[in-house]
Amino acid sequence: MFLKMKSKNKISKIVTGILLCSCLFFSGFLVGKSSLSSILNSMIEGETLYTKADFGIFWHVWDVVKQKYKDADKLDDQKMIYGSVSGLVDSLGDPYSEFLVPDVSKRFLEDIKGTFEGIGAEIGINKNNKLTIIAPLEGTPAQRSGLKSGDEIIQIDEKMTVDMTLEEAVSLIRGEKGSKVKLTIFRVNSIKEQEINIIRDIIKVPVVSMSILNDDIAHIKLFNFTENSPQEFGEISQKILQSPAKKIILDLRGNPGGYLDAAVDIAGWFLDTGNVVVIEDQGKLGQKKYVANGSSVFKSWPIVVLIDKGSASASEILAGALKDNLKTKLVGVNSFGKGSVQEMINLEKGASLKITVANWLTPTGISISKAGLKPDIEIEADSNNISEKKDIQLEKAVSILESY
């Protein structure tokens, strides 16, 4: 998922698998009935170009509820407005377009800064429209509990997840350090559901690590694309350049995404300036290309990229850019396939709106959203767990590079 966050001073671009466990409907909509009424009435009278829909039914239902509901004296007008806006966005049928009430919007902004309280897992909606673990983050309660990429969440505590929105799921899964949440999950190739109890903790999103394999292979594990990723990747790169390493394994397994700018920046270490990193397809509005602009010091190095079904969004963008521009081999299993583009618009009173506006394409025009990235060499991890001592995907990447 791509997210553009609009504020008065800047626009930050963010790519994320979805929320970390972790004004479309008119500018005056959230300020109260009086301003809303004037807008809607003018629309009904044909004074704007927004729609020709009859908003009379809205006010009819509003008045009936206010007059006849048994607890009408306890109704919260602002809450009713928020509910109306949520219904409008839900009608799109797009799980990644969401209206966020003020406290939820505040929490989302805190999440993407990289530290929060919860279990440490990225969640999304899979191709079967099921609530799914995209990736448990490194060193978090989610990973320690045994959650795996691709696990479908059937139930959160005692609440079934059928027709549950992503935001509802995140709200239920998140919580204070030391508290417990029970997830009932279904794992592919399993014969029955299983319950996993997780103790929440403070989650600090990891960024990158590096080790030298076989004396000349730098194994770079990129956990997430945070605001600090370009700086930390740069520091790692300097260490690689000062080491005996002459080949690279870029490990994007279990990386659910992050900042778009971070992905484009890191691509600049591998691609010539001007090479296309990713294309934003806005449909009838056309396409926008994001290009590399960096030192490209690794462009001639033999490189293998590791991906799995926990590789999403920014991970898929970076992997796709290297594959299309450098013919880099992808090893592992099919990536998650998360390539929708959202714009986040700040609304009144701290509320916000995420609305899907485009899709990502690789430099050669392949849609990331449709099927993710297919590896050149498909190989399943042992027990679908890349933390096992025997990592056959990594071993395969090493053997490929040894042939250079």
Q: What is the pLDDT of residue 343?
A: 80
Q: Is 157 a catalytic residue?
A: no
Q: Is 77 a catalytic residue?
A: no
Catalytic residue of the set 22, 149, 311, 313: 313
Measured CA to CA, the distance from residue 395 to residue 304 in angstroms comes to 11
Q: What is the pLDDT of residue 113?
A: 60
DSSP 22-90: --TT-TTGGG-HHHHHHHHHHHHTT-SSS----THHHHHHHHHHHHHSTTGGG--HHHHHHHHHHHHHH
Q: Is 324 a catalytic residue?
A: yes
Q: What is the pLDDT of residue 207?
A: 86
Using DSSP, state whether 305 is helix, strand or coil. strand
Catalytic residue of the set 151, 261, 324, 391: 324
Q: What is the pLDDT along the chain (404 residues), one digit of tens a residue?
A: 455 444 433 334 444 433 344 322 222 222 223 334 443 444 444 444 456 778 889 999 999 999 999 999 999 999 999 999 999 999 998 888 889 999 888 877 766 665 678 999 988 888 788 899 988 988 899 999 999 988 999 999 999 999 888 878 988 998 899 999 999 999 988 889 999 999 999 887 778 999 999 999 999 999 988 888 999 999 999 999 999 999 999 999 989 887 888 999 999 999 999 999 999 998 888 999 999 999 999 999 999 999 998 899 899 999 999 999 999 999 999 999 888 878 888 998 899 998 888 889 999 999 998 789 999 999 998 654 444 468 999 999 999 999 98
Catalytic residue of the set 338, 352, 354, 391: 338
pTM for the structure as a whole: 0.71
The b/e string for 40-56 (b: 16+ C-beta within 10 A; e otherwise) is beebbeeeeeeeeeebe
CB 123 within 8 A of CB 166: yes
